[in-house]
Amino acid sequence: MPQEKLLTVTTTILVLWVIFIITWERVSPYRKGLKFFREGFWIDLVWYTLIQSYFLKILIFDYIIAPIQHHFDWSAIQFVTHWPIAVQVLFFLVTHDLYIYLFHRLQHRSKFLWRTHEAHHSGKEVDFLSGSRSHIIEIIINQTIEFAPIILLGADPAVIPIKALLDAMFGMFIHANVNVKLGKLKYILNTPELHLWHHANYQEVFHANFATKFSIWDHLFGSAYDPGHSPGNERENWGLGYEYPKDYFLQHAFSVKRFDENKLLKYKWFERYYNLRPAILSLLLSPWKKQHSKTDTIHQPKTIDTSITPHPQEEILQ
């Protein structure tokens, strides 16, 4: 199949998958009562999913992988070249997923690497879009290690869009707010049943359920946590045990230097910046809000609640 046609097919499948997952979340939610336009929705969609992904794709493929391919001769080890495409895709799915599992465990143990991963855990309301929230450094590391071998080892060009599609579909699935049980398959394939626990603010799961696609890694290496019930439904039962910035740029700044958003609000320039995005969103969404309940307070600036007791493990890593 020509590459352009393959891209059209994979894009169409992805759009249909998004529609399916959104519908599933409305019909059979894991946590009832979560709004579609939940806190952080626009940050995750606009900044992480669209803007960050677009520019990092250019950076990773054109300015990291391409120079490596140009300066080094990998022809002698291009052993996957003559494999069927399906086998190539499966090979890179499994090997990269094992890498992600190991690196993910390391991120939860390393104070430095945790700073590049905590953004992913900052959401208090986890849904299909939450998986897109990842620090720039984390994406650069993981996607370079993911796609560089595909190119350097001589895989078929079709492998990249197919694997990218499967990554996106699985990422949305394991973060989706859906109530689903796969029975014995959960010991092989990851599910929201297992991964949503990883996003809960409990000491038991800070070092558990690291798998992305294949939960078998957690079971093989003793990091599976499956109590048979859901986490609590209060805000303090989810996300981080400490306060985290709501703004995209502040989230990245926070990984370098800790600060208190409330204290920064005393500066007029910061207050204007901090309230600019919510004001614009409020203006754009005002027609929609008029047709719905007046209680729908989409993305309004909130005073940070510091009464939540920090997660014991996360407090150490600050």
Higher pLDDT, 153 or 3: 153
Specify the higher pLDDT residue, 225 or 312: 225
- Concatenating the DSSP letter of every residue in 296-310 gives --TT--------SPP
pLDDT of 315 reads 54
Residue 52 corresponds to which tokens in the numbers above?
């960050």
Neighbours of 168 (CB within 10 A): 19
Average pLDDT score over residue span 45-50: 96
For the residues 109-113, what does the mean pLDDT come to? 96
Mean pLDDT of 184-199: 95
d(CA 136, CA 94): 24
pLDDT averaged over every residue in the chain: 90
| Residue range 66-70: mean pLDDT, rounded | 94
Is pLDDT above 80 for 175? yes
Tokens at 108, concatenated: 């939860």
What percent of the chain has pLDDT above 90? 76
pLDDT of residue 261: 82
What share of the chain in percent tops pLDDT 70?
90
Name 62's Cβ contacts closer than 8 Å, sequence gap at least 6: none
Residue 77, pLDDT above cutoff 70:
yes
Decide if 203 contacts 311 (C-beta within 8 A).
yes
Task: Return the structure tokens found at 29.
Answer: 């939610």
pLDDT confidence of residue 299: 47
At residue 266, the pLDDT reads 83
pLDDT digits (tens, 9 = 90+) for 260-312: 888 888 888 888 888 877 777 777 767 766 666 555 554 444 443 434 444 54
Whether the predicted pLDDT of 134 surpasses 60: yes
- Write the pLDDT tens digit of every residue in 22-44: 999 999 999 999 999 999 999 99
pLDDT at 128 exceeding the cut of 50? yes
List the alpha helices (DSSP H) in 176-256: 192-198, 203-206, 216-220, 248-254
**230-250 average pLDDT score:** 93
pLDDT bin (cut points 50, 70, 90) of residue 68 is very high
> Token pair 């046609």 is at which residue?
5
pLDDT at 73: 87
pTM: 0.86
pLDDT of residue 15: 98
| Dihedral (Cα; 9, 13, 15, 19), 10-degree rounding | 160
